[in-house]
Structure 1
Amino acid sequence: MKLLAPIVILIVAAFVLIPQAFYKVDETEHIVLTRFGEIRGIQSSPGLKMKVPFIDVANVLDKRLLRVDVPRAGFPDIQSQFLDIDAYVRYRITDPRSFREVLSNEVTAGDRISNLVVAALREEVGMRDREEIIGGNPIDLADGTQKVEPIVQNGVFAREELTRKVRDVADARAKEQAFGISIVDVRIKRAEFPDSIVGTVFTRMRSEREIQANALRAQGEEQYLTKTADVDRRVEIIGAQADEKANRLRGEGEGQAISILAEALEQDPEFFAFRRSLQAYSKILNDSTTLVLPADADLFKFLLSSQGSK
């Protein structure tokens, strides 16, 4: 029993002291070893390392790309028209000692880096118009809609050129202030009008669309009237041609009828006279007609036989 107590104490001490005396360095981490706030060493190679228990503190910094979301803010362009821009930054810790001494931790680093990027964005946005910030020119299509044509400057898209300059300016200032970082990328997630002028913008857009709609309606009405007039003209032409053809055919038919009748008359004059008499009888004689004529009237000569009897 006397030996058991020291063994237990040694085991407990080992459990307490070993985690305090050793620390692990991951391949994705920098370890800044501090003693009472003073930097005692930097470890970046992976492995198991030793430190003074309860005195030295292993502060972990990430080697990988870190992201900072820049707070959304309004930025005036070259025409003093404000745009709300939402952006983010990606950076990497290159000097753990400077990072620890100047920025202390990633939270403080995020605030300081955001301030640098906002200042650089404000400068660059203030030298550009809205189309360059958005990265394209709106083009009206034939159907009244719009598409955005990307703006290319020196073989580089305008938006990419803007963010590249912001990155270079912010990175240079971070190095001047010994942040111990390298700003790798700056990206604009969204650029839009502030909420305070959205209504005005929508009203203007609505007016523009109404103008386009009225223009399209006028064009449609003009095309309708043009086509209607053309159809009416064609109808009149076709009607006139049909009347002309009908009159010509009617005249030809009447001419042919007269010719046939004349030929028939020449061939048998008595038959023609007989036919004309029958037509006269049909018009004059009916059930309610009383007609008194002499027996030798021409009207009755075809009713009499060759001996003069009826």
Structure 2
Amino acid sequence: MSGRNLVLLVVLAVAVLIGYNSLYIVKETERAVMLEFGRLDQADIAPGLHYKIPLVHEVRMFDARILTFDAQPERYLTVEKKAIMVDSFAKWRIRDVNTYYTSTNGEETRAERLLAQRINEGLRNQFAQRSLLEVVSGERDQLMVDLIESLNRFTNTSLGIEVIDVRVKRIELPEDVSGSVFLRMTSEREREAREHRAKGREQAEVIKADADRQQAVIAAGAYRDSELIRGEGDAKAAAIYASAFNKNPEFYSFVRSLNAYKETFSGAGDFMLVDPDSEFFRYLKDPKGETSQP
């Protein structure tokens, strides 16, 4: 190979290298800034193919998608001065690439560290205004809304990032207080159980007393009705007997004597000392009940 061809080959290689280093592509999922000798020259370069001067310009690209920051569990105090351990995470993205680069030097870890400080401070302030019940109930959603609004007021202007969402993954009691809290909860549940049992016994006594009263009322009413019916029956029986006696007094006397004989001699060992001429044996001597004349 001649010296001229070698020079042309070297020149071509240098041209290709310069051309390769002069062109760059910004993707739709990226945000980019151009530095000129380390100074910010262009901010928020549009997606597409662009040109730069090698050794003079440097392009820094950042992820423009929504990123997730998983915070470390932190200890907070509620308005009741109860300690809780909170594990949270945040969703964020770059909003102003110029502010983002100047405040964090384009370092994602630094941005998340600054964001973690603000989230920690915001959660501490929000939990300090609410009780434990409000924190673990429906108040948590409003807590997150208030926190996101306060965070964005700072991060939009100071860090150039937008906080999309902050969520609490888990709320637990610290290990040093969970034992005492568990014992207190157990004693409270036992106290409530005793109260429920006492109320149950009280209600049982009330129901039993009412049932006894109703039983006595029903029994008294039944006895009253039975006595009325029995009295009416006896009255009707007496009326029937009286009517029968009036129609045939002799037959009525005969029936009464038979009943008297039956009742008197019902027992095997029964005996009587009665004058044979007594009125009692009237129908035994004569079926017609006629007494003999002396």
- TM-score w.r.t. the length of structure 2 is 0.74
Higher mean alpha-carbon deviation, 238-247 vs 254-263, is at: 254-263
**Alpha carbons 2:44, 2:97 under 8 Å: kept:** no
**Structure 2 residue corresponding to 1:164, chosen from 143, 149, 156:** 149
Instruction: Give the match's secondary structure for 2:286.
Output: coil
Q: Does 1:24 align with 2:25?
A: yes
Alpha-carbon distance between aligned partners in 2 of 1:163 and 1:119, rounded to the nearest angstrom: 12
Structure 1 residues 184 and 195: alpha-carbon distance in aligned structure 2, compared to 1, 3 A threshold = same
Q: Once the 2 structures are TM-superposed, how far is the Cα of residue 43 of structure 1 from its aligned partner?
A: 5.3
Alpha-carbon distance between aligned partners in 2 of 1:133 and 1:187, rounded to the nearest angstrom: 17
Alpha-carbon distance between aligned partners in 1 of 2:146 and 2:266, rounded to the nearest angstrom: 112
User: Which residue is 2:221 aligned to?
Assistant: 241
Alpha-carbon distance between aligned partners in 1 of 2:223 and 2:124, rounded to the nearest angstrom: 81
Gaps of 5+ in 2: none
Higher mean alpha-carbon deviation, 35-44 vs 186-195, is at: 35-44
Structure 1 residues 91 and 149: alpha-carbon distance in aligned structure 2, compared to 1, 3 A threshold = closer
Q: Once the 2 structures are TM-superposed, how far is the Cα of residue 123 of structure 1 from its aligned partner?
A: 4.3
Alpha-carbon distance between aligned partners in 1 of 2:238 and 2:191, rounded to the nearest angstrom: 69
Structure 1 residues 280 and 204: alpha-carbon distance in aligned structure 2, compared to 1, 3 A threshold = closer
User: Which residue is 2:166 aligned to?
Assistant: 187
Alpha-carbon distance between aligned partners in 1 of 2:239 and 2:121, rounded to the nearest angstrom: 108
Letter in 2 for 1:239: A
Higher helix share: 2
Instruction: Give the match's secondary structure for 1:232.
Output: helix
Instruction: Give the match's secondary structure for 1:71.
Output: coil
Q: Once the 2 structures are TM-superposed, how far is the Cα of residue 239 of structure 1 from its aligned partner?
A: 0.7
Percent identity among equivalent residues? 25
* CA RMSD across the alignment: 4.3
User: Which residue is 1:228 aligned to?
Assistant: 208
**Alpha carbons 1:66, 1:92 under 8 Å: kept:** yes
User: Which residue is 1:302 aligned to?
Assistant: 286
Q: Deviations over 1:57-97 (max 9, x none)?
A: 43211334444233221123344332222333444434434
Alignment map for 1:267-286 (pairs within 5 Å): 267-280=247-260, 282=262, 283-284=264-265
Letter in 1 for 2:31: H
**Structure 1 residue corresponding to 2:240, chosen from 242, 248, 260:** 260
